[in-house]
Amino acid sequence: MLKQLKEQMLYYGREMIARNLTTGSGGNLSVRAGDRIVITPSGMEYLAMTVADMVVCDGRGRVLEGDRRPSSELDFHLALYNHRSGIGAVVHTHSVFATTLACMHREIPPVHYLIGFAGPKVPLAPYATFGTPELARAITGTIGDSNAVLLANHGLVAVGGTLPAAFNVAEEIELVARIYYQTLVAGEPKILSREQVDEVMVKFKGYGQ
Ligand SMILES: [Zn+2]
């Protein structure tokens, strides 16, 4: 079970690089497995990682398995799992367009229907230094029921019931962020109404295979 999850994390870590969602060792991933969480190691290039580098922690962040130090953002991963029981995986990226908006302190409004993978909008958590309990509090204090949150002057956090779901949110929200940025640069974005987005979110619940 844990081995399969570690392999899945390795796959999606590499996909974060392949799909331009992050660079080098930036960002991090975790998955909940019962009362444990598996998280990527701190400061390691995704392309150099193996399953043996993944770190297993308990709910308080004590390392149970693995020789590496866990990601420096372990605090906010744990805080998210404690915050909402439906969260089974967390994906954190520094994807360029989401991060651009986060550096402008802008939320992402429903400019494109794909925002519905996250919620009616993507909120913005106030700035706090990376790797601190303040950042964890800023994220849990902002995310609400959303599946994504921008971190001011930092990046994006996406959550889901499973790692493929959280990764999909990160990828779709980066696309929406890019579209929003481009519409701001080119002119006036036309924003969907709350009713229009609500209808999309209902359809997404039954979407997929
Ligand atoms: Zn980061």
User: For residue 209, what pLDDT is reported?
Assistant: 62
d(CA 147, CA 36): 21
C-alpha 192 to ligand 1 mean position (Å): 30
Taking the centre of ligand 1 as the mean of its atom positions, its distance from the CA of residue 203, in whole angstroms, is 31
- Residue 7 among the catalytic residues: no
pTM: 0.96
pLDDT tens, residue by residue, 122-173: 999 999 999 999 999 999 999 999 999 999 999 999 999 999 999 999 999 9
For residue range 30-50, list pLDDT tens digits in order: 999 999 999 999 999 999 999
- State the distance from the centre of ligand 1 to the C-alpha of 7, rounded, in angstroms: 22
CA-nearest of 159, 148, 152, 99 to 130 is: 152
**Separation of alpha carbons 166 and 161, rounded Å:** 7
Catalytic residue among 15, 45, 65, 73: 73
Element (H, E) at 158: strand 155-160
Q: Is the Cβ–Cβ distance between 87 and 139 less than 8 Å?
A: no
Q: Which amino acid is at 70?
A: P
Q: Which residues of 97-123 are buried (b: 16+ CB within 10 A; e: fewer)?
A: bbbebbeeebebbbbbbbbbbbbbbbb
Distance 92 CA to ligand 1 centre (A): 7
